[in-house]
């Protein structure tokens, strides 16, 4: 698995390190063609996750993120009571596209490594990119909530295949 890693935004306190690392198991779904590829884009709100994903869409990737679940008639209608449904929808859409042999990009915060684990189990060919920009977040997440996410951030394990981007 190729990983891209850069530092978190300097305007935030350093996150606590939980010390857990995802297990990179072989893909469990027997229906995943070798042509399937998964790119995970993780980062805090306003870091540029969706912008990075859009760039991959222009290269032929299918794009999914939990926030898409909350889009109704072109408007973002977030409901915290449906966050689990949103993430389940994102995983289901991702798996279906991978089973068709497509290239997929998933952009979510993924502050904890365990949140990425179901995606690692979907496909052998996985890359992780950490978005670290510092732009205003488009969903109006309060600064205090962004800081809570930064505090729970778990860094990717360091490997020889870690690249700055």
What tens digit of pLDDT does each residue of 9-19 get? 333 333 333 23
Residue percentage of the chain with pLDDT more than 90: 68
Average pLDDT of span 46-50: 95
What pLDDT shows up at residue 3?
45
A 10 A CB-CB count for 160 gives 5
Round to whole Å and give the CA distance between 83 and 34. 31
Residues with Cβ < 8 Å from 94, sequence gap 6 or more? 38, 64, 104, 106, 119, 122
Residues found in the chain: 165
| 155 φ/ψ angles, rounded to the nearest 5 degrees | -70, 155
94 vs 117: CA distance, rounded Å:
13
* Stated pTM of the model: 0.78
pLDDT of residue 139: 83
Poorest-confidence range of 14-23, 27-36, 123-132, 137-146?
Answer: 14-23
> Tokens 């990179």 map to which residue?
24
pLDDT > 70 in the chain, percent: 78
CATH number for the domain including 11?
Answer: 3.40.50.300
CB atoms within 10 A of CB 24: 12
> What domain range is 77 assigned to?
2-163
Burial class (CB in 10 A: 0-12, 13-18, 19+), 77: exposed
Stated as kind and residue range, the H or E segment containing 128 is strand 126-130
Mean pLDDT of the 87-106 span: 98
Mean pLDDT of 147-151: 96
The structural domain count of the chain equals 1
Compute CA 14 distance to the chain's CA centroid, rounded to the nearest angstrom. 20
Which sign does the torsion angle of CA 91, 86, 77, 110 carry? negative
Average pLDDT, integer, range 44-67: 96
pLDDT score at 2: 45
Least confident range from 15-24, 28-37, 105-114, 134-143: namely 15-24
**Mean pLDDT in the chain?**
82
Angle at 8 between CA 66 and CA 37, to 5 degrees: 45
Tell me the H-state helices in the chain. Answer: 49-57, 83-99, 117-120, 143-151
State residue 138's pLDDT score. Answer: 85
């Amino acid at each position: 698995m190729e990983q891209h890693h850069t530092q978190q935004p300097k305007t935030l306190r350093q996150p606590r390190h939980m010390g857990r690392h995802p297990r990179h198991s072989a893909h469990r779904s027997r229906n995943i063609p070798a042509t399937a590829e998964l790119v995970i884009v993780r980062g805090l709100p306003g870091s540029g996750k969706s912008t990075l994903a859009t760039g991959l869409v222009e290269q032929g990737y299918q794009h999914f993120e939990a926030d898409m679940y909350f889009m109704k008639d072109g408007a973002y209608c977030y409901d915290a009571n449906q966050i689990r449904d949103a993430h389940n929808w994102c995983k289901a859409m991702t798996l279906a596209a991978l089973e068709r042999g497509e290239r997929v990009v998933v952009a979510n915060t993924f502050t904890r490594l365990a949140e990425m684990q179901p995606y690692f189990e979907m496909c052998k060919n996985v890359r992780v990119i950490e978005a670290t920009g510092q732009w205003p977040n488009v969903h109006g997440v309060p600064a205090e909530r962004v800081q809570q996410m930064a505090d729970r951030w778990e860094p990717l394990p360091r490997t020889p295949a870690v690249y700055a981007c």
